[in-house]
Structure formats: structure tokens, C-alpha cells
Amino acid sequence: MTANPITKVETNRLMAPVARFGRMALAVSGGPDSLALLHLGGDFARRHGLATPVVLTVDHDLRPGSRAEAETVARLAEELELTHAILTWRHGPIRNGLQAIAREARYDLMAAYCSSHNIPALATAHHLDDQAETFLMRLKRGSGLDGLAAIPEEGNWSGLTLLRPLLDVPKARLIATTTAAGLSPVSDPSNIDPRFERVRLRGAMAMLAELGLTPEAIALSARRLRRARSALEATVDAFLNAHSERSPAGYASVSMPALLSVPEDVGLRALARLVAAVGGSNRPVRLAKLEALFEGLRARDVRAQTLGRCQIVPVDDRLAVFREHRTSSLPKVKLQPGHRLLWDNRFCIDLGDREPETVTVEALGKARAGTLAHGEGGLQRVPRLAACTMPACRFGDGRVLLPDLGLGGVAPEPRRDGGFDCRATFLWGVRSV
């Protein structure tokens, strides 16, 4: 049966969730799925008076033709009067887990771009067939509720909202939409490379469909499991609101008696939520490690340990979570006046446009954190383990000032001419993709 292109009426329904953001970016690789998103997203924004979407293409630099493909997308976007940016992934040799590592890098690059350009949402072209493939891949690995819920309609990556408006649309209809719009997709050889699990599974889908395991049936199961997960996450939200403390300085604590009194899955999810936010990692902590931590707490074997780029430390009857302090893992990034950046996947930092010079944003460090003991207001209450991993701004002459963290304190070394126009906002949102 020939698939029909997506109509304008359907587009209005599918793209409606993006309208609440006003401005969005579109992730477009150049394949038929993402070109359909390019066409539909641009058309929807024009017809509804929304800001013109920004088109982002990631050049993974893994094969000779990748740059030319990205430039092809740039020309298509220009023809449609859409702003386009090519984001290049700089990397060394990659031996294992290429697709997973490339995926993380892709989202990191797009999140950083969106953060620096004040774009709150990114739409991707994931579709119904992707959903079914993801479900089966995770079923093969023995995944639980979270894994089998597969791809959510809305997720989060380092403060960036991820939207999948086409998740219930079969791939065939996206191809038909791209063809009807007169757009010519690029061909990515990795999509037919049998070394990759998703490609091998894609080749078996026709046989599964003959047994009744159609993409539509599989996606329906995933949708129902997502509904159950949402209910569980609402319980976790309520638990954390009642029993945890989360500081704008980027650390958290939770009541251990409360943690051990709730159903284990709620407790595990609460811990996972805090570790993901404080650690700033977009890679989820392995469930087995969380379970081991939880069992240790139940057995009263409460010791400081590291997990998910965090230090987890017992403090009286609470469990405190701090970003692990390792100099090599904490970035140093230049920030120009009037610009914004995403630092360590945890803080969104804005430098005022009237500031006189570019600064280097880096971790405050253990030595400088000691000066907070003499600070005023909220800063002197920040534990040293948290203070040493807070962002600090270093000037060309070596002076270091802290941005405003919303704590009501002052920088350890105030500037002679008054206040320092820089603000750092910690991203406490749930990281889910």
C-alpha cells in the first residue's frame, strides 16, 4: 500500500506541542525522516506566526562525505529561508559503542548551541518505526519499565527540552512527505551497515510483522508502559519535594529514614534523579550500582562513595550528593560578554554584555573554596565539597569571581568597581531522553 504524505491538518496536530515554546531548533541530518521534519516544522512555524526555527546538523566527522552532506542540508535550509548551523564533533579514535557515543556527542553539541542561543526546545524526527526498534533492542537486553517505555514524546538533555512530534508517524509516511515536498535526502551508509544492532533488527521487522508484531503493535505497548512510568515519576516528584533539599549551588541531600521507608523503586528513582542532576551526566547510572548502594543503606553500611560523577556522603541522618571533584573532568570554557554557555552539563551561565572582558569559566577548586569560609550570606553555608565544583570566572589578570548563584552571598574577591554581572543557574530538570 502506498503511504500518503502528512496533511496540513495533521501537521497542526502533530506540531502543536512545539507552539508553547515560541522558538525551537530542528535536528536535521539530511535523511528522509529529518527532511520531513524540516518541511513540516518550517511550514508550521510560518503558518502560525512562530519564530523561524533554527536547523542544526551534526557532522560526526566519521567518514569522508559527512561534511558535504551537512552542507547539503545547509543549502536546503537556506532555500526554505531557515537559519542553519553545522556542529562538528571533534574526537579521537573510538573503539567500542560508536553509535551510543556519537548519539551522546550529538545531543551535547545541540544542547550547548541551544543554550548559548537561548533556544528552549529541540525537535527530532524520531518516528513510529524507531520506537518499535528501540523497544525490541531493550527487550533483548532484559530492560525493565524505563527501557521498555522506549522513546518519550518529550525528554530533557542538559536543560534543553527534546520534542518528538512525529513519534506516532510510520516512516513510510515521512518518506512520502519528503518526496511530495520535492526534497532529496542524503544517503548515510551507516543506515545499512549490518555491524550495527539497529540495522540488523530493521532487516528482521518484516518477518516479525508477519507474526503480528507490527511496529504499530509494539509502539502501542511502549506507549502504555510510558503511561505507567509517568505515574511512578509523579510519586518520585512528590517524595523529593517532601524529603530532599536541592541547592542552587549544585548539590543535594535526602532524608535517609524517608528514603528507606518508601517502596524500593521509588527510592531508587529518587537517588537516580539526584545523581543525574548533580553529576551532570547524560548517561544513566546502571541500575545494578544503584541497587548495591540502596542495599548498603538498608544494611546500615553507610560509607562515602562515588557514583555517576558524584560523591555520595552520609551526613547525620541525611545522604548528601556532591559533584565529584576531578580536575580532568571539569571543563574550562571561554565566555564572552553578552553570551551564555552550558557549563559541565549542570549550570547555565550568562555574562552581562557590559562586562569589560572575556572570562574563563572553570571550577572554583579546593584551594579557592577555602575562602568561602570568610564569605557572607548564603555562600558561607555551602559545603566545601560543593564549593570546589561550583563555576568560577577567571579574568586575564588572574582574579577569580563567582557568578551570582542565587544564594544571596558575595564573591570571595569582590571587584573594585562594584558588582559582577554574571549569573549561574543550576539545571535541576529531569534528564530523560
Q: What is the pLDDT of residues 125-170, one digit of tens each?
A: 999 999 999 999 898 888 889 889 999 999 998 889 999 999 999 9
Residue 194 has pLDDT above 80, yes or no: no
Average confidence (pLDDT) over 252-278: 95
Classify 105 as helix, strand or coil.
Answer: helix
Q: What is the pLDDT of residues 39-71, one digit of tens each?
A: 999 999 999 999 999 999 999 988 888 999 999
Average confidence (pLDDT) over 203-219: 86
Placement of cell 537517588 in the chain: 271
pLDDT at 69: 93
Residue 278 has pLDDT above 80, yes or no: yes
Grid coordinates in use for 187?
A: 544517503
pLDDT band at 198 (very low <50, low <70, confident <90, very high): confident
Q: CB atoms < 10 A from the CB of 253, how many? A: 22
Residues 361, 141: Cα–Cα separation, whole Å: 40
Q: Helices (DSSP H) in 314-431: which residue ranges?
A: 366-369, 384-387
Residues 63, 194: Cα–Cα separation, whole Å: 17
pLDDT at 415: 55
Grid coordinates in use for 331?
A: 571543563
Domains within the chain, CATH numbers bracketed: 8-221 (3.40.50.620), 238-323 (3.30.465.60), 331-426 (no CATH)
Average confidence (pLDDT) over 259-266: 95
pLDDT at 376: 45
Average confidence (pLDDT) over 257-272: 95
The lowest-confidence range among 368-377, 400-409, 413-422 is 368-377
Average pLDDT over the chain, rounded to an integer: 89
Query: CA torsion angle for 54, 158, 327, 411 (degrees, to 10)?
Result: 90
pLDDT band at 408 (very low <50, low <70, confident <90, very high): low
Percent of the chain with pLDDT over 90: 67
Average confidence (pLDDT) over 224-246: 96
Q: What is the pLDDT of residues 280-326, one digit of tens each?
A: 887 788 888 999 999 998 888 778 899 999 999 999 999 999 999 97
Is the Cβ–Cβ distance between 30 and 72 less than 8 Å?
A: yes
Q: Which amino acid would we find at residue 62?
A: L
Residue 411 has pLDDT above 70, yes or no: no
The lowest-confidence range among 143-147, 264-268, 383-387, 427-431 is 427-431
pLDDT band at 17 (very low <50, low <70, confident <90, very high): very high
What's the whole-model pTM score? 0.84
